[in-house]
């Protein structure tokens, strides 16, 4: 097997020793002196993501989540880490997985690029059993075909067909949390909020660790103006995935509506740390400035009623 020294790696990938050391310290790749060809592939992926301004913390969190979801020892080696918009996902044996949301994604790039299909494991011409469901649940291969067909129907705006497929999936496998979520979202957009809430809650029962179920449940409860329940759902999403930026954003909004400025400020700040670009980040920064300004005025107002002890006079008198 061909091996490469650290200097070889730095030369081949055109990275600095400081960059490599930083990735090792961040836990993205083990520290070592000799690298294999597979190690080079992992490092090339890391270099590309860092060039796209994906933070080391986001990469590490996605790797940890993928280990938990799919039981992989080394997701960078066993799957392909790719960027999908502002998020990270793993392409593995024909499926695109968002490990933080614990959700299967529709892989547009694979459909648009037939050359990717040729790289699939021949034994996995269809999706492998979903890693999104409770461990031990067994799903027929046909369920995965139906799930992909339902997603494709949604993308083609064939809502009735998508609904029928999702309902069929849930008859075959009542534990398929992703189907509850997608069907709930269709009902949400149709403004059938009670039905959407029912489906999201069933998703949390099917998979109590499914972050997106709690996030979407928070959204529908917010629409139903049940603010306390909405906050509880968002808080559960944040508890399961502390780096879930969208949950922090919605939680900040909910706390603002309830008049809890300090809690709102904390989650605005968390959102900006996780997603510091774009209109949503600009809005979050604006809210932070407003809240900090309000806090300063409040403190100044309270300070005017404080009378300091006169010089030479004890603040407390013992009797």
In a 13 Å sphere around the CA of 161, the CA atoms on its Cβ side amount to: 13
Residue 113, domain member (yes or no): no
**For residue 152, what are its two tokens?**
């494709």
Residue 33, domain member (yes or no): yes
> What distance in Å separates the CA atoms of residue 279 and residue 290, rounded to the nearest whole number?
17
Report residue 127's pLDDT band, with 50, 70 and 90 as the boundaries.
very low
Contacts of residue 160, defined as CB under 8 A and 6 or more positions apart, other chains included, come to: none
Tens of pLDDT, residue by residue over 1-41, are 567 888 888 887 878 888 888 888 777 787 888 888 778 87
Tens of pLDDT, residue by residue over 203-212, are 999 888 888 8
- Decide if pLDDT at 113 tops 60: no
> What distance in Å separates the CA atoms of residue 110 and residue 130, rounded to the nearest whole number?
18
Helix (H/G/I), strand (E/B), else coil: 126: coil
Q: What is the pLDDT of residue 29?
A: 80
Residue 156, domain member (yes or no): no
Task: Determine the average pLDDT of the residues in 245-267.
Answer: 91
**Nearest alpha carbon to residue 245 among 269, 282, 274, 209:** 274
8-state DSSP, 123: G
**Backbone phi, then psi, for 175, in 5-degree steps?**
-95, 5
> What distance in Å separates the CA atoms of residue 120 and residue 168, rounded to the nearest whole number?
28
Task: Determine the average pLDDT of the residues in 278-282.
Answer: 80
- Decide if pLDDT at 109 tops 60: no
Report residue 135's pLDDT band, with 50, 70 and 90 as the boundaries.
very low
Residue 8, domain member (yes or no): yes
Residue 279, domain member (yes or no): yes
The domain of 268 spans 245-304
Helices 193-206 & 177-189, crossing angle to 10 degrees? 170
Last residue of a domain, one of 51, 69, 84: 51
In a 13 Å sphere around the CA of 21, the CA atoms on its Cβ side amount to: 4
Per the structure, how many domains does the chain have?
Answer: 2
Q: Which of 126-135, 179-188, 284-293 has the lowest mean pLDDT?
A: 126-135
Residue 70, domain member (yes or no): no
CA-based torsion, 213, 209, 275, 91: positive or negative? negative
Task: Determine the average pLDDT of the residues in 131-140.
Answer: 42
More confident residue, 98 or 186: 186
**Nearest alpha carbon to residue 166 among 196, 137, 191, 138:** 196
- Decide if pLDDT at 107 tops 80: no
Residue 84, domain member (yes or no): no
Q: Which pTM was predicted?
A: 0.57
Residue 310, domain member (yes or no): no
Report residue 111's pLDDT band, with 50, 70 and 90 as the boundaries.
very low
Kindly report the CATH number assigned to the domain that includes residue 273: 1.25.40
- Decide if pLDDT at 306 tops 90: no
Q: What is the pLDDT of residue 3?
A: 76
Long-range contacts (CB closer than 8 Å, 24 or more residues apart) made by 242-248: 243/57, 243/58, 243/61, 243/100, 243/274, 244/100, 244/101, 244/211, 244/215, 245/270, 245/271, 245/274, 245/275, 246/215, 247/211, 247/214, 247/215, 247/218, 248/274
35-49, 52-66, 67-81, 227-241: which has the highest mean pLDDT? 227-241
Helix ranges (H only) for the chain are 6-13, 17-25, 37-51, 56-70, 75-78, 108-112, 114-117, 141-155, 159-172, 177-189, 193-206, 211-223, 227-240, 245-257, 261-274, 279-303
Contacts of residue 299, defined as CB under 8 A and 6 or more positions apart, other chains included, come to: none
């Amino acid at each position: 097997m061909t091996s490469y020294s650290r200097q070889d790696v730095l030369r081949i990938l055109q990275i600095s020793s400081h960059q490599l050391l930083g990735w090792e310290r961040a836990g993205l790749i083990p520290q070592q002196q000799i690298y294999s060809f597979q190690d080079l592939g992992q490092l090339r992926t890391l270099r590309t993501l860092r060039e796209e301004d994906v933070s080391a913390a986001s990469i590490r969190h996605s790797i940890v989540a993928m280990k938990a979801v799919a039981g992989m020892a080394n997701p960078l080696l066993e799957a392909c880490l790719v960027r999908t918009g502002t998020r990270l996902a793993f392409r593995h044996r024909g499926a695109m997985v968002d490990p933080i949301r614990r959700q299967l994604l529709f892989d547009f790039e694979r459909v648009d690029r037939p050359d990717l299909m040729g790289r699939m494991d021949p034994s996995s011409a269809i999706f492998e059993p979903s890693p999104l469901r409770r461990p031990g649940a067994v799903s027929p291969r046909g369920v995965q075909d139906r799930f992909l067909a339902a997603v494709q129907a949604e993308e083609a705006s064939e809502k009735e067909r998508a609904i029928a497929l999702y309902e069929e999936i849930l008859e075959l496998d009542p534990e398929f949390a992703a189907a509850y979520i997608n069907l709930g979202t269709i009902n949400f957009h149709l403004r059938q909020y009670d039905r959407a809430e029912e489906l999201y809650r069933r998703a949390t029962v099917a998979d109590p660790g499914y972050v997106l179920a709690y996030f979407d449940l928070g959204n529908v409860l917010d629409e139903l103006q049940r603010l306390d329940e909405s906050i509880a759902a968002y808080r559960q999403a944040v508890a399961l995935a502390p780096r879930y930026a969208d949950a922090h954003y919605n939680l900040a909004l909910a706390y603002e509506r309830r008049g809890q400025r300090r809690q709102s400020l904390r989650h605005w700040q968390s959102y900006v740390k996780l997603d510091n670009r774009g209109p949503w980040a600009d809005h979050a920064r604006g809210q932070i400035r407003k809240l900090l300004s309000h806090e300063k005025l409040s403190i100044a107002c309270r300070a005017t009623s404080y009378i300091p002890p006169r010089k030479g006079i004890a603040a407390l008198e013992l009797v």
